[in-house]
Structure 1
Amino acid sequence: MHIRDLPYPDPGRPDVRSGPRFLLWLGRNQLGGQVKAALWGLVHMAALVSFPLAIGFGVQAVVDRSGARLATAGALMAGLTVLTALGDVMLHRAAVTNWITAAARVQQLLARKAVELGSTLTRKVAAGEVVAVSTGDVEKIGWFVEALSRFTAAAITSVAVCVALVLYQPALGVVVAVGVPALALTVLPLLPRATRRADEQREKAGRATELASDTVAGLRVLRGIGGEELFLRRYRRASQEVRIAAVRSARMWALIAAVQVALPGLLLIGVVWYGAALARDGRIEVGELVTVYSAVTFLLFPLRHVEEIAMAYSFSRPSARRAARVLALRRSSPPPRVAAAHRDGQPADSRDATPLGGDLYDPASRLLAPSGLLTAVVCGDPDAAGRLADRLGGHPVSDGPDEGERAGAPSALLGGVALDEVALPAARAAVLVQDKDPVLLSGTLAELLDVPRSGEVSAEQALEAAQCGDVLDALAQASAADTGDADPMGARITERGRSLSGGQRQRLALARSLVTDPEVLVLDEPTSAVDSHTEARIAEGVRRLRAGRTTVVMTSSPLLLDRADRVVFVHKGEVAGTGTHRELLSTDPAYRAVVTREPDGEAAAHGAGGGTGPDGHGLQGTGRTEEQIEESA
């Protein structure tokens, strides 16, 4: 795999049972690149450690006063220099390629998981942890993958040199062959403690990153309630904990580095002392002593890779564990018969090729949204409404507190087909869920609305139904000021739509959902940030544009409820009433209490007609003042 070929057509299905298994899976998928890097590493290090032979040959030529052999030694050194440079360049190239392609594979896996889980990802794992995995952890994993080939080449070279020295000069070669492995093994007792400290540092750094991410995401709210200083103190404390953990970890790695320098120095002294005694007794020649001495000196270079691979593994193991934990998250837990039908994450059921359609039914709450109708759903708990919307989109909630939301709750059915039994693209194409806090990506308005669509609804129709006229005017003015072109479709929208008001962001997000024209559209509080006049027009626009399509709206606004074909009241996780808005106002005190924000007793006392405005609307249904509702009526 070359860098120019990225991204991968398919990053594969990772082994996420543990961090080491995930690293092993990455290594297996890069076997060709690892072998290539290791071979170039062998060329580089073999040429490097062969210099002692040329040096010893040259020294002996000087002693013997042989000009021919001295010239041969010089030519040999020149050739080894070229091989060393070539091997080093190609090793670096191959190793960095392994690093980048491994990091790209992990990032593609994370991106695919984010697309698969959607908004439920941040409900299963903190957003800060996802950021930490996709940035710092990916780098650490890539470091280990990159260092593995260099360590392999260093290990093979060290073994080969030790064997060659034993054959070349047995007396000194045996000392080196015994001493070098002992040096490599001396760091092993220190590695567990260094690894624990490295893990502690990474965990604390991850928590600090999560805290920083959450603080930035909620900065506007923190400023509103004066909580900036509180969270700043928390981050300072977390940052100091990271600093202390990093210092403790650095001390251990400094000790390992010191051992890796001191002990080879002692070995070198011992070899020189023993070799000098042998040369004095005439048992070896001076050139042989120089060769062995130089070989031991050059062996210190491959030995450094022992420390590097130990450090790389210590830092990458917790990173791989976090990545595996995120990648192990699943969209749902399908029944055994469904899981058995899946192959490589895709179901084998032939129904996947058939477009989904029909009534939408949630077995957990017994909610039914008939095909082609606008169904409004009223829940007393906004969080329960969000969980219900997720289930209707094919994301069963496994930790909901309400009855019917426990682990193992069945998936929602569309036309009698469980959404978690079909391929994810088919489920997403059939059911689109817009949560209560939709995200607007940075880019132009045209790019925002350039989403997969049926082609039946134009951008202009969607913007009109979502009542985005004033938004288009504001964007046209901004575009004219920036580029001189007053076309609102070319106006740029900042990240998350921060340059827009809450109501403007909400209406643009609604227009984006409407232009896709899915078979089923689920909207969670789509008008909570707009005024009554706009809300009434949006209700009419959505009803008109979605005629003949299934639409489910989670809301407690009378302006939306009165325009729905049917209203479903969900209480404590189950359907408690079905009818029109006016029917439920007249017959269900609990429903009236939720819609009008009145206590149950007062709602029951008001009966069918008390406390309602014109057209039967509850006076407090939208959380606005009585004057506002009378004005909108």
Structure 2
Amino acid sequence: MHIRDLPHADPGVPDVRSGGRLLRWLYRQQLGGQTKALCWGLVHTGGVASFPVPVGIAVQAVVDRSGSRLLLAGGLLLLLGALVAIGDVMLHRAAVTNWITSVARIQQLLARKTTELGSAMTRRVAAGEVVAVSTGDLEKIGWFVEAVSRFGAAALTSVGVCVALVVYQPALGVVVAVGVPVLALAVLPLLPPATRRADEQREKAGRATELASDTVAGLRVLRGIGGEELFLGRYRRASQDVRRAAVRSARMWSTISAVQVLLPGLLLIAVVWYGTGLALDGRVRVGELVTVYSAVAFLLYPLRHFEEIAMAYSFSRPSAKRAARVLALRRPADGRIAAPGTFGGDLTDPVSGVRAPAGRLTAVVCGDPDAAGRLADRLGGHPADAPEGTPSVLLGGTPLDDVPREAARTAVLVQDKDPVLLSGTLGELLDIPASGSVRAEEALAAAQCGDVLAALAQGSADGSGDPMASHITERGRSLSGGQRQRLALARSLVADPEVLVLDEPTSAVDSHTEARIADGLRALRTGRTTVVLTSSPLLLDRADHVVLLVEGRVAGTGTHRELLRGNAAYRAVVTRETDADDGPKAASLAGRAASGGHFARTGTDQIEETA
């Protein structure tokens, strides 16, 4: 796998049963890259490990006054230097490639999971946890995956050096062969507390990130109630907890690093002391002693890889556990049957009792916005947060949860109350998979986007004045709330699905624009099934069929005028009237609607009659 081949054509299906299994799965997905890094690592560490041989030959050649062996030693040093340089460059290249490809794989999996769950993801896991997984956790996971090959090369080279020393100089080689495993295992008792402190730091950092995310998201509300300083104080305390946890974790890891310096130093002293005695007794030559000393000094290098792999695993394990928890999120069973050739008909929700007749405009009135949002999510099929055993929505008698998700989403499109506009030109925003029956111009006209087009034309990217070439900033931040809402509605109309579910599509526009949108929506969606969740009399009056929900169940059906006259609960939701004697006013409102008048919402969201 090369970086130029990213993104992955298929990131695969991860093993998310645990964090460790996810790490092993990632490693198996790039065996070719790991093997390449291991081979180049062996070239690099093998070259470094071989340096003591020419150094020992050179020292002994000076003692013996042998010019030929001195030249041989110089040639070997040049050769080994070239091997070490090439191996180091290629090892770094292969290791970085492994790091980037593994991180890219997780990023693609997270993006796929986000697409699958949609807005339901943040109802299953905290937004701060998603942010932590998508940023810092990916770096730590990639660090461990790429460090495995370098650690493997260091471990194999260390074993080879120990065996070679035992064969080359048994008296000193046995001391080294016994001492090196002891040094490698000496830090094991320190790893559990170091891991616990690292986990504590990650947990506190995740809580601080979540708190920061929630504070930023609700900053406008916090300022309105004077709670900005209160929440900032909470974040300061949380950040200080993270700092203290990081210091405690760093102290433990610095202790491990100190042990990794101290114990090899003691081994080196022991080898020199013992080898000097052997040299004085004439049992080893000076060159052999220098070779053994250089080999032991080299072993200090791979021992640092032991420390690194332990640290990388300790840091990546909780990160992988968090990533596995996010990637393990699932919607209900999907694709138990094939999608029928003709997929349409009445849309029915067995949970609430709502039925939207095929080819009609149905409005649903619900006093609880959260309940309306849950209904919209359920009507789209495969709700991620639905309790086990919840019956599926039926489209023409076919359960949406039983057909492949792509087929369900093609048939039913849900636009929630806070649609997102991605950055790009207006033409790109409307260039989406669609039936082709509705042109962009028709959809924009129905959504009453004339003033939006005029404003965008002034800032067209090519200076042509074409609004389709105008750039829309991220999330449409340069537009007002009403403009964003209307563009999102136009995008949904262009898609022209068999069933379109709109959750409060006109909550941010004025009453006159809302009335025109209601007329345009009804005209453009003729013959298509449309469900609008709203309490706006303007939209309700244009609907063919109105359903009232009370506590999540159908409490009344009919036309807007019929319910306004005969259903007190409906009247209370739509007109905000709660008095028992509001019948005459309701009749007057219904009569005005029948004669062509309409209703306008004031700033307090009450209903007043307008001519």
TM bucket (normalised to shorter chain) is: over 0.9
Other structure's SS at 2:443 match = helix
Aligned equivalent of 2:162: 162
Residues 112-511 of structure 1: matches in 2 within 5 Å? 112-331=112-331, 333-334=332-333, 347=335, 349-351=337-339, 354-396=341-383, 398=385, 406-479=387-460, 484-511=463-490
Q: Is the 8 A contact 2:121 2:384 kept in 1?
A: no
Cα 1:602/1:160, change in 2 over 3 Å: farther
Equivalence for 1:516: 495
CA distance in 1, matches of 2:357, 2:205: 50
User: What is the aligned partner in structure 1 of residue 79 from structure 2?
Assistant: 79
**For the residues of structure 1 that align with 2:294 and 2:584, how far apart are their CA atoms?**
99
Residue aligned with 1:289, SS: helix
* Structure 1 Cα separation of the partners of residues 601 and 382 of structure 2: 28
- Counterpart check, 1:584 vs 2:572: no
Residue from 568, 571, 577 that aligns with 2:547:
568
Look up the match of 1:344. none
Asked if the contact 1:33–1:94 (Cα under 8 Å) also holds between the matched residues in 2, the reply is yes
Cα deviation, 1:32-57, whole Å, max 9, x if unaligned, reads: 11111111111110110111111111
Q: Deviations over 1:536-559 (max 9, x none)?
A: 111000000001111000001111
Deviation of 1:444 after TM superposition, in Å, equals 1.7
Could you tell me how far 1:213 is from its partner in structure 2? 2.5
Alpha-carbon distance, 1:424 to partner: 1.9
CA distance in 2, matches of 1:596, 1:225: 28
Counterparts in 2 of 1:21 and 1:161: CA distance versus 1, 3 Å: same
Q: What is the distance in 2 between the residues matched to 1:618 and 1:54?
A: 100
Gaps in structure 2 of 5+ consecutive residues: none
| C-alpha distance in 2 between matches for 1:596 and 1:621 | 11
Q: CA deviation at 1:504?
A: 1.1
Q: Which residue of 2 aligns with 1:531?
A: 510
Q: Secondary structure at the match of 1:578?
A: strand
Write out per-residue CA displacement over residues 155-175 of structure 1, whole angstroms, 9 at most, x where no aligned residue: 111111111111111111111
CA deviation after TM superposition for structure 1 residue 226, in Å: 3.6
Alpha-carbon distance in 1 for matches of 2:384, 2:157: 55
The verdict on how the C-alpha distance between 1:21 and 1:627 changes in structure 2, with shifts beyond 3 A counting, is closer
| Structure 1, gaps ≥5 residues long | 339-346, 400-405
SS at match of 2:364: strand
What does residue 110 of structure 2 align with? 110
Q: Relative to structure 1, is the Cα distance of residues 330 and 213 closer, same or farther in structure 2, using a 3 angstrom cutoff? A: same
| Contact 1:597–1:621, Cα closer than 8 Å, also in 2 | no
1:627–1:526 Cα change, 3 Å: closer
Give the 3-state SS of the residue equivalent to 1:376 in structure 2: strand
In structure 2, how many angstroms separate the alpha carbons of the residues matched to 1:106 and 1:52? 42
> Displacement, 1:568?
0.9
Partners of 2:546 and 2:396 lie apart in 1 by: 20
Taking the aligned partners of 2:290 and 2:106, their CA distance within structure 1 comes to 48
8 Å CA contact 1:577–1:584 kept in 2: the answer is yes
The structural deviation recorded for 1:611 is: 6.0
CA apart distance, 1:620: 8.1
1:8-47 matched pairs, under 5 angstroms: 8-47=8-47
Pairwise CA distance, 1:591: 1.4
Q: Which amino acid aligns with 2:592?
A: P
Q: Is the 8 A contact 1:398 1:408 kept in 2?
A: no
SS in 2 for 1:391: helix
CA distance in 1, matches of 2:557, 2:591: 22
Deviations 1:448-503 (A, max 9, x none): 21211111111111111011111112222333xx7643222222222211111111
Q: CA deviation at 1:628?
A: 7.5
Offset of 1:230 from its aligned partner? 2.5
Partners of 1:557 and 1:621 lie apart in 2 by 9
Q: How far does residue 128 in structure 1 lie from its aligned partner after superposition?
A: 2.4
2:596 counterpart of 1:609: no
Query: In structure 2, what is the Cα distance between the partners aligned to 1:225 and 1:6?
Result: 47
Moved more, 488-497 or 78-87: 488-497
Instruction: Report if aligned partners of 2:600, 2:607 keep a CA contact under 8 Å in 1.
Output: no
| Identity rate, percent | 74
Aligned partners of 1:395 and 1:606: how far apart in 2?
A: 44
- Do the aligned partners of 1:524 and 1:554 also contact (CA within 8 Å) in 2? yes
What is the alpha-carbon distance in structure 1 between the residues aligned to residue 480 and residue 533 of structure 2? Answer: 22
Aligned to 1:595: 574
Question: Shift in Å at residue 2 of structure 1?
Answer: 1.1
Q: CA deviation at 1:90?
A: 0.9
How far apart, in 1, do the equivalents of 2:33 and 2:3 lie?
Answer: 11
Distance 1:180 1:626, change over 3 A: closer
Q: Following the alignment from structure 1 to structure 2, what is the Cα–Cα distance between the partners of residues 397 and 144?
A: 32
- Opposite residue 544 of structure 1, the aligned amino acid is A
Checking the alignment, whether the CA contact within 8 Å between 1:398 and 1:409 is kept in structure 2 is: no
- Whether the aligned pair in 2 keeps the contact of 1:466 and 1:511 (CA below 8 Å) is yes
Check the 8 A contact 2:564/2:590 in 1, yes or no: no
TM-score by length of 1: 0.93
State yes or no: 1:61 paired with 2:61.
yes
Cα shift at 1:587: 2.1
SS at match of 2:348: strand
1:554 maps to amino acid: L
* Native 8 Å contact 1:597 1:620 kept in 2: no
Quote how far apart the aligned CAs of 1:601 are: 3.5
Q: Kindly provide the amino acid, as one letter, of the partner of residue 182 in structure 1.
A: V
CA RMSD between the two structures: 2.1
One-letter amino acid of the counterpart of residue 541, structure 2: D
Report if the CA contact (8 A) 1:596-1:620 is conserved: no
* Native 8 Å contact 1:441 1:495 kept in 2: yes
Instruction: State the alpha-carbon separation in 1 of the partners of residues 249 and 604 from structure 2.
Output: 60
One-letter amino acid of the counterpart of residue 138, structure 1 = L
Deviation at 1:231, TM superposition (A): 2.5
Give how far 1:610 is off.
5.7
Question: Secondary structure at the residue paired with 1:523?
Answer: strand
Out of 204-213 and 145-154, give the one that drifted further: 204-213
- 1:237 is displaced (CA, Å) by 1.7
**Mean alpha-carbon deviation: is it higher for 568-577 or for 207-216?**
207-216
Over 3 Å counting, the alpha-carbon distance change for 1:429 and 1:13 in structure 2 is same
Amino acid at match of 1:496: R
Q: Secondary structure at the match of 2:438?
A: coil
- 8 Å contact kept, 1:15–1:25: yes
Matching residue of 1:341? none
More off after superposition, 188-197 vs 495-504: 495-504
Matched residues in 1 for 2:244 and 2:599: separation? 55
Once the two structures are superposed, residues 82-103 of structure 1 have per-residue CA deviations (whole angstroms, 9 ceiling, x without a partner) of: 1111111111111111100000
* Mapped contact 1:557–1:621 kept (Cα < 8 A): no
> Which amino acid is the alignment partner of residue 289 of structure 1?
L
CA contact (8 A) 1:355 1:430 kept: no
Partners of 1:397 and 1:424 in 2: CA distance: 12
The structure-2 alpha-carbon separation of the partners of 1:626 and 1:91, relative to structure 1 and needing over 3 Å to count, comes to closer
Equivalent-residue separation in structure 1 for 2:581 and 2:419 (angstroms): 35
CA distance in 2, matches of 1:3, 1:70: 45
Q: Secondary structure at the match of 1:478?
A: coil
How many Å separate the matches in 2 of 1:105 and 1:8? 7
